[in-house]
Amino acid sequence: MDERTISATERTIGYLLRLPYERLSERVYGGLAAQGFPDIRPAHSAVLRHIAGSGSRVSDLAERAGLTKQSMAYLVEALAAAGYVSVAPDPADGRAKLVRLTRRGHAVSETLVRLSREVEADFAARLAPGQMATLRGLLGELADALERP
């Protein structure tokens, strides 16, 4: 009996994008504990990857991440309790909460990027010279095209 999934057998675009991302995620989040961030999990990326430099409202974070406001609020509360973000009333709208990275939040974000680049370099070493640059270029073009209305 073949244990491979349909997407793996057919090598769909979802599979081809997801498999490298899953391997990257395993290594990056696995490496965080050794870097002093044992409490950060992949689920926290919904906040960390979508927060703006000047801060973001919980509702905006939820929308960007494709989560409910309640789910995002749960993640934000956990990160706030661990000292990675601060939550305060939004000066532009007192009813909304503004989430900002703390010094520790910036440190974990920088570490995530650094670890990601290390994994990317390892992936590049598995390919012929120049192929990772080509892949990055194509993915960048696709991302640009998908971001346009």
Q: Write out the DSSP string of 94-106.
A: EEEEEEEE-HHHH
Residue 2 has pLDDT above 80, yes or no: no
Predicted pLDDT of residue 131:
97
Q: Write out pLDDT tens, residues 91-145.
A: 888 888 899 999 999 999 999 999 999 999 999 999 999 999 999 999 999 999 9
87 forms bridges with which residues in the sheet? 99
Q: State the CB neighbour count (10 A cutoff) for residue 16.
A: 11
Contacts of 69 (CB under 8 A, 6+ apart): 58, 59, 62
Q: Note if the pTM is more than 0.75.
A: yes
Query: Domains along the chain?
Result: 39-147 (1.10.10.10)
In terms of DSSP H, where are the helices of 102-149? 103-125, 131-147
Q: What is the pLDDT of residues 72-97, one digit of tens each?
A: 999 999 999 999 999 999 888 888 88
Token pair, residue 60, equals: 């905006």
Q: Is the dihedral of CA 64, 66, 67, 69 positive or negative?
A: positive
Per-residue DSSP letter, 4: S
Residue-wise pLDDT for 10-33, tens only, equals 889 999 999 999 999 999 999 999
